[in-house]
Amino acid sequence: MVSDVKTVLVTGATGFVGHYVVDQLLTLDGVRVITTARTKPATPRLKTQFIPFDLRTDASDVDLFTYFNKPDLVIHLAWQGLPDYKSLAHINTYWLQHYRFLTNLLRNGLTNLTVTGTCLEYGLQSGCLSEALPTQPTTAYGLAKDTLRKALDLFLTGQNVSFRWLRLFYMHGKGQNPRSLLAQVEAAAQRNEMVFNMSKGEQLRDYLPIDTVANYIVQAALQTTVTGVINCCSGRPIAVRTLVEQFMEEHQYRLTLNLGYYPYPDYEPLAFWGNSQKLETILTA
Amino acid sequence: MVSDVKTVLVTGATGFVGHYVVDQLLTLDGVRVITTARTKPATPRLKTQFIPFDLRTDASDVDLFTYFNKPDLVIHLAWQGLPDYKSLAHINTYWLQHYRFLTNLLRNGLTNLTVTGTCLEYGLQSGCLSEALPTQPTTAYGLAKDTLRKALDLFLTGQNVSFRWLRLFYMHGKGQNPRSLLAQVEAAAQRNEMVFNMSKGEQLRDYLPIDTVANYIVQAALQTTVTGVINCCSGRPIAVRTLVEQFMEEHQYRLTLNLGYYPYPDYEPLAFWGNSQKLETILTA
């Protein structure tokens, strides 16, 4: 990977995705990693500089670009209030904090920015979803991310800033939210339960292991040829039931799946996955 | 027009649209009109009650529904900063003031709400635009209105509130912004100029006289059968050149049109107009 990025600021660095992204960045020669989050992690990470920041702070009179030591690149992963995708706080409070944070950095000199979005920006659209599709979010979280992206696009019009918006799909791996599906399978297995209650499991999704997602984020962030919205996805739909069965097989868990116990969520279509062509132009470059 | 609405609050009542909407409401028997705006109009309107309110006020601890005498219906026309459609203030400041204002009223008891949107929510989409089309705004103003509507939809999910969002297209009439096209034609004629500089004029738009728009707004607001997004439009495209020529004919202005003097604006497609079928179900009811 060739890049003239020497200093990267990673926001949300103590989160699930942030942890793996920092791991990936630390494998790169000549890249200095600055991390930020609301509170200092209990165990500080070696080889990174931590600078605390609370997004709720009114920093309108502060030059945040200088405060964070003028990074060559910002990878903005931070977001609050998840996984409650329906909380209105996403749209009436959180998104504007992110807009103000990022436009503060940009006004003060940042020229290279990667932000993570979400497949929930697509809303209830089915099938293989390409970046060019008009977004139609139906959740407060999806709308908040969608509004942030569109407002940043307007802010950046005519400015010489390299901007990538990585739309994350589903991911799994160690450290994920205990309310997520595979974490619950694992917990049930470790409690020696016999049965795992789940939905019918026929819904088709786009899943990636978290270290792969982190690798894609870093690869996309460290290049400037491909910009704009980029699906960060596998491009291959998998039935949720198959995903669970593969995971149990891999870990030799012997739970019986009680399919159809839970209804499907009302904020997701039955079958959707990402078109990964744009991402692949980065990965094969 | 049959309706059990007895008290209507009109916001933006001192504006161009507001003036005509209040006119229409005052023709109705048994309807009491409360108006609001930032500052009291120089000439108070007869037969209306004026209650001042500045949208920039932090009213989070105030019951605005009671403050405005618990209206049966709110027609929310207010918006600031026009016609500068590109100002980022629409999305980073104004929209949230409207969201907080309206959700304050709704939380405190309002059950019947009509808000005006804009055809700029559609963005650069061409042709006959139906309400069901996904919006793709490309201006800060369009994005702000689009975000307000989507956030209100989420806020109102599962609540028993009648909500109509009237997407306004183009309008003309006495009192309009002096920067608008026909106002400029009129001003040029009154200055006895010979030539009127304009664009090529081949762009197709959807225009209505302002009193017709006001009538449609009132008819739509005073019924609750048709809800959601409603195009407030003629449904008939007209070339801007033809519109200007008809206007000059009507007023016997003798300007020569210097077509092609100005370029087309970059934030509008060349040809778009509203699908008026949904509106017509109200007008013919």
Q: How far apart are CA A11 and CA A17, in angstroms?
A: 10
Task: Report the share of chain B in percent with pLDDT over 70.
Answer: 99
Interface test with A, best of B150, B157, B229 (most A CBs within 10 A): B150
Question: Residue A137, preceding bond cis, omega within 30 degrees?
Answer: no
Q: Give the mean pLDDT of chain B.
A: 95
> Does B264 touch chain A if contact means CB atoms closer than 8 Å?
no
Say what the pLDDT of residue B285 is.
Answer: 87
Q: What is the mean pLDDT of residues B51-58?
A: 95
Residue B1 has pLDDT above 60, yes or no: no
User: Do A35 and A45 touch, CB atoms closer than 8 A?
Assistant: yes
Say what the pLDDT of residue A278 is.
Answer: 98
Q: What is the mean pLDDT of residues A181-200?
A: 96
Q: Can you list the domains of chain B with their CATH numbers? A: 7-171+206-236+270-283 (3.40.50.720), 177-204+237-258 (no CATH)
Please state which of the ranges A14-18, B12-16, B40-44, B197-201 shows the lowest mean pLDDT: B40-44
Say what the pLDDT of residue B25 is.
Answer: 97
Task: Report the share of chain A in percent with pLDDT over 90.
Answer: 93
Say what the pLDDT of residue B252 is.
Answer: 96
Task: Report the share of chain B in percent with pLDDT over 90.
Answer: 93
Q: Please enumerate, as own/partner, the contacts of B91-96 that have beta carbons within 8 Å and a separation of 24 or more.
A: B91/A147, B91/A150, B91/A151, B91/A154, B91/B140, B91/B143, B91/B144, B91/B147, B92/A96, B92/A99, B92/A100, B92/A103, B92/A151, B94/B55, B94/B144, B95/B144, B95/B145, B95/B147, B95/B148, B96/A92, B96/A96
Residue A228 has pLDDT above 90, yes or no: yes
Say what the pLDDT of residue A164 is.
Answer: 98
Start-to-end C-alpha separation, chain A: 9
> Does A135 touch chain B if contact means CB atoms closer than 8 Å?
yes
Residue B6 has pLDDT above 60, yes or no: yes
Residue B159 has pLDDT above 80, yes or no: yes
Say what the pLDDT of residue A42 is.
Answer: 81
Give the chain A residue nearest B99 (alpha carbons): A92
Non-local (6+) Cβ contacts of B141 within 8 A are: B81, B82, B84, B85, B86, B87, B90, B118, B120
Report the amino acid identity of residue B267: Y
The radius of gyration of chain A's CA atoms, rounded to the nearest angstrom, is: 19
Three-state secondary structure call for residue A229: strand
Non-local (6+) Cβ contacts of B71 within 8 A are: B7, B8, B9, B34, B65, B110
- Residue B42: pLDDT band (50, 70, 90) is confident
Q: What's the sign of the alpha-carbon dihedral A243, A245, A248, A252?
A: negative
pLDDT tens per residue across span B131-155:
999 999 999 999 999 999 999 999 9
Say what the pLDDT of residue A43 is.
Answer: 82
Please state which of the ranges A171-175, A265-269, B140-144 shows the lowest mean pLDDT: A265-269
Token pair of A119, please?
A: 């497949």
Residues A134, B135: C-beta atoms closer than 8 Å: yes
Please state which of the ranges A179-183, B245-249, B265-269 shows the lowest mean pLDDT: B265-269
Chain A with chain B: Cβ pairs closer than 8 A: 49
Say what the pLDDT of residue B180 is.
Answer: 92
Residue B75: Cβ within 10 Å count: 30
Say what the pLDDT of residue B227 is.
Answer: 97
Residues B147, A99: C-beta atoms closer than 8 Å: no
Three-state secondary structure call for residue A261: coil
Say what the pLDDT of residue B90 is.
Answer: 98
Q: What is the mean pLDDT of residues A219-224?
A: 97
Q: How far apart are CA B118 and CA B82, in angstroms?
A: 12
Three-state secondary structure call for residue A74: strand
Residues A140, B154: C-beta atoms closer than 8 Å: yes
Please name the residues between 92 and 131 in chain A that touch chain B, using a CB distance below 8 Å.
92, 96, 99-100, 103
Three-state secondary structure call for residue A46: coil
Residues B91, A154: C-beta atoms closer than 8 Å: yes
Residue A2 has pLDDT above 70, yes or no: no
Residues A137, B150: C-beta atoms closer than 8 Å: yes
Say what the pLDDT of residue B46 is.
Answer: 86
Say what the pLDDT of residue A265 is.
Answer: 87
Say what the pLDDT of residue A41 is.
Answer: 83
Please state which of the ranges A32-36, A43-47, B172-176, B254-258 shows the lowest mean pLDDT: A43-47
Q: Using CB atoms within 10 A of its CB, is residue A220 exposed (0-12), middle (13-18) or buried (19+)? A: buried
Q: Using CB atoms within 10 A of its CB, is residue B42 exposed (0-12), middle (13-18) or buried (19+)? A: exposed
Alpha-carbon torsion angle B231, B237, B241, B245, nearest 10: -90
How close is the nearest chain A Cα to the Cα of B95, in Å? 10
Residues A91, B135: C-beta atoms closer than 8 Å: no
Residue B2 has pLDDT above 70, yes or no: no
Q: Which chain B residues are Cβ-neighbours of A100 within 8 angstroms?
A: 92
Residue B210 has pLDDT above 80, yes or no: yes
- Looking at per-residue pLDDT, the higher value among A52 and B265 belongs to A52
Residue B161 has pLDDT above 80, yes or no: yes
Say what the pLDDT of residue A255 is.
Answer: 95
B116 DSSP β-pair partners? B166
How close is the nearest chain B Cα to the Cα of A92, in Å? 7
Please state which of the ranges A91-100, A215-224, B230-239, B262-271 shows the lowest mean pLDDT: B262-271
ipTM: 0.88
Q: Which chain B residues are Cβ-neighbours of A107 within 8 angstroms?
A: none
Residues A88, B150: C-beta atoms closer than 8 Å: no
Q: What is the mean pLDDT of residues B14-26?
A: 96
Supply angle C-alpha A273, A275, A279, rounded to 5.
Answer: 125
Residues A151, B92: C-beta atoms closer than 8 Å: yes
Residue A1 has pLDDT above 70, yes or no: no
Residue B258 has pLDDT above 70, yes or no: yes
Q: How far apart are CA B33 and CA B9, in angstroms?
A: 6
Q: What is the mean pLDDT of residues B4-22?
A: 95
Report the amino acid identity of residue B222: L
Three-state secondary structure call for residue A128: strand
Three-state secondary structure call for residue A91: helix
**Across the interface, which of A100, A136, A154 has its CB nearest the CB of B143?**
A154
DSSP chain B: ------EEEEETTTSHHHHHHHHHHHTSTT-EEEEE-SS--SSPPTTEEE----TTS--TTS-HHHHTT--SEEEE----STT-TT-THIIIIIHHHHHHHHHHHHHTT--EEEEEEEGGGG-S--EEE-TTSPP---SHHHHHHHHHHHHHHHHHTTS--EEEEEEE-EEE-TT--TTSHHHHHHHHHHTT-SEEE------EE-EEEHHHHHHHHHHHHT--SS-EEEEES-S--EEHHHHHHHHHHHHT--PEEETTSSPPPTTS-SBEEE--HHHHHHHT-
Three-state secondary structure call for residue A192: coil
- Residue A45: pLDDT band (50, 70, 90) is confident
The alpha carbon of residue A176 and the mean position of all alpha carbons in its chain are separated, in whole angstroms, by: 12
C-alpha neighbours within 13 Å on the C-beta side of residue A145: 30
> Does B150 touch chain A if contact means CB atoms closer than 8 Å?
yes
DSSP tag of A43: S
Residue A207 has pLDDT above 70, yes or no: yes
Give the chain B residue nearest A146 (alpha carbons): B147
pLDDT tens per residue across span A89-139:
999 999 999 999 999 999 999 999 999 999 999 999 999 999 999 999 999
Residues A140, B151: C-beta atoms closer than 8 Å: yes
